[in-house]
Structure 1
């Protein structure tokens, strides 16, 4: 559907997946760095589309940012090898390695490139950027991190992700800030355990894939399109369910991983961090509900040429995923029985 017909894109997709495996299975920092470089060079042909000026600009920006982060990472790795026993320098280099990995995944305060690049990509490329491209940096971050530094980064991610999305009209930028906010939960889960991070990441990818698939299917890029289009009521319901699930509202499945993370953070006595994460989640829910409100309430424009015809098979997919989202809490409580 997105790239299956194009053999070039298939080739680059394969290298993209393969490069992540190189990085996370490498037993040296150099191997990790090589994996990151291959990953960068395979993602650029995927996002570069000669018909779209914005995508060419996005691919160039992405290349520059990732190159700077890679150079910084390589520099720190070499220095760390030279200054093995110097404690003060090691402390500083750990923070620098963390910073370059955070820059690679688009985390605050190195996030300024992220919404700009997201704006120039298709929904499918956005999905890869928000999910698959975060795997390598987070796993490398779990090998070597400074706890106090990461707690500050988590708070920053949470606040910037929530405040930045408030005045956005573009759905892509909104999803980018949502991704920055979710990154704070991901880093928190990574600090607790890698298994918890895998679980949270899987849930987040599942929800993001549904959102990107729905927006791609309806060809939507801005909030006002939601109230210009006379959407099918089932699509509106699916949007409601999946947006609230992404926000982490209790009856839906998106709340379950957040619930576990909150549990562990409280066990580790990180009360202030938990408070910030929960408060910022409320702001996220506010602007998700704002989108849903416009989609549900403004049904006044009856434009004949704006009708959406969706193949039945696709609707079955969406309804099935929405059903999983609703049943999420029932399934999750079964884990505790």
Structure 2
């Protein structure tokens, strides 16, 4: 890809997200989402492979459907209220808007496109889809959280936690496993968005930080499957150690950073007399814990003095993220746990 084309694509992706973040008009937000979608399509399809074309097509069809539903919802809201303001959303429009934003992000039951798109993309593109591309719809969901119906958000959230955990158990591809991990963490965010939007925002920010660092380590070590992860310790013990802590943090084990938002979410739900919902979420998260611990076991099973039972992979390192990784590692793992509880 030429430098000019790469610059224009990057500019489109960045401007699309910034338009949505700064918008207070539904048409402006819709335009920003469309610009964001059109800009990333060439990035997904840049590989000369049929899987890349398939991924780009699935991404376009899903995002276009979600954008059409979002545009219909905002038009219906403007027709009934006479306002295009994002913060002025009535009940009927909110019922349509939440599924549209869930489809944009890849939350269940509109999650089918996310694992397939990530599997057909490069690790760098998968990193962009699971982090930057979720900022715009999450911003809209946060802005309209006062009008979000708790029964809809709770249903989508529970389905996402269950499907994210259940789907990740059978995966051997790291990109698909991270896709289901993203779905599960979106479930925690969406469930809490109508009750404690600040805690929900903290949860997704922490997960995006951990996910970005994990994908950078995958790119740096050329690891795409669980089989490749099993020989990582002999290649780079430091990367294997950081990945181990990242997986445990994503699982929500204390005292790592991923434990903090989950504790705050469960505390907030219990405070609002939703103990049954909090208990169900905690039990469903054990499904995700299973494949996190399995991957952790594979990473540490070849640590000395254990000998490697499988053939080591030849790993090329065309990119180096050492500076970024060194900055993100303490942020993604440890220092978030000292944050005070959010209201």
* Paired position in structure 2 for 1:168: 171
What is the aligned residue count? 326
Q: Does 1:19 align with 2:16?
A: yes
CA drift at 1:309: 7.4
- Matched-pair contact (CA < 8 Å) for 1:109–1:153: yes
Relative distance call for 1:94 and 1:335 in structure 2 (3 A) is closer
Alpha-carbon distance in 1 for matches of 2:317, 2:47:
28
Partner of 1:96: 96
Q: Which residue of 2 aligns with 1:206?
A: 209
1:179 equivalent in alignment to 2:182:
yes
In 2 relative to 1, CA 47–82 (structure 1 residues): closer, same or farther, beyond 3 Å?
Answer: same
Q: TM-score under structure 2 normalisation? A: 0.86
1:156 aligns with 2:159: yes
Q: Do 1:241 and 1:322's aligned partners in 2 also have CA atoms closer than 8 Å?
A: no
Structure 2 spans left out of the alignment, 5+ residues:
83-89
For the Cα contact (< 8 Å) 1:245–1:252, is it kept in 2?
yes
Q: Is the 2:9–2:39 contact (alpha carbons within 8 Å) kept by the matching residues of 1?
A: yes
Q: Are 1:225 and 2:208 matched, yes or no? A: no
**Superposed displacement of residue 36, structure 1:** 1.1
Q: Check whether the contact 1:241–1:325 (CA below 8 A) recurs between aligned residues.
A: no
Moved over 4 A (4+): 307-311, 313-326
> Which is worse superposed, 191-200 or 283-292?
191-200
Take 1:326 and 1:106, find their aligned partners in 2: how far apart are those partners?
Answer: 25
Q: Structure 1: how far apart are the matches of 2:262 and 2:67?
A: 31
Query: What residue in structure 2 maps to residue 59 of structure 1?
Result: 56
Deviations 1:235-286 (A, max 9, x none): 2211211110111111211111222222212111121221122122222121
In the alignment, which residue of structure 1 is the partner of 2:86? none
Q: Could you tell me which residue of structure 2 aligns to residue 234 of structure 1?
A: 238
Distance 1:317 1:46 in 2: 22
What TM-score, normalized by structure 1, do the two folds share? 0.87
Match of 1:137 in 2: 137
1:300 alignment partner in structure 2: 308
Instruction: Tell me by how many angstroms 1:81 deviates.
Output: 2.6
State whether residues 240 and 292 of structure 1, in contact with CA within 8 Å, keep that contact through their aligned partners in structure 2: yes
Residues 241, 37 of structure 1: CA spacing in aligned structure 2 closer, same or farther, 3 A cutoff? same
Counterpart of 1:44? 41
| Inter-CA distance 94–333: structure 2 relative to 1 (3 Å threshold) | closer
CA distance in 2, matches of 1:309, 1:115: 25
SS at match of 1:153: helix
For residue 253 of structure 1, give the secondary structure of its aligned residue in structure 2: coil
Q: Give the CA deviation at 1:176.
A: 0.3
Distance in 2 of aligned mates of 1:127 and 1:92:
34
Please state how far the C-alpha of 1:323 moved relative to its aligned partner.
4.7
CA drift at 1:91: 3.9
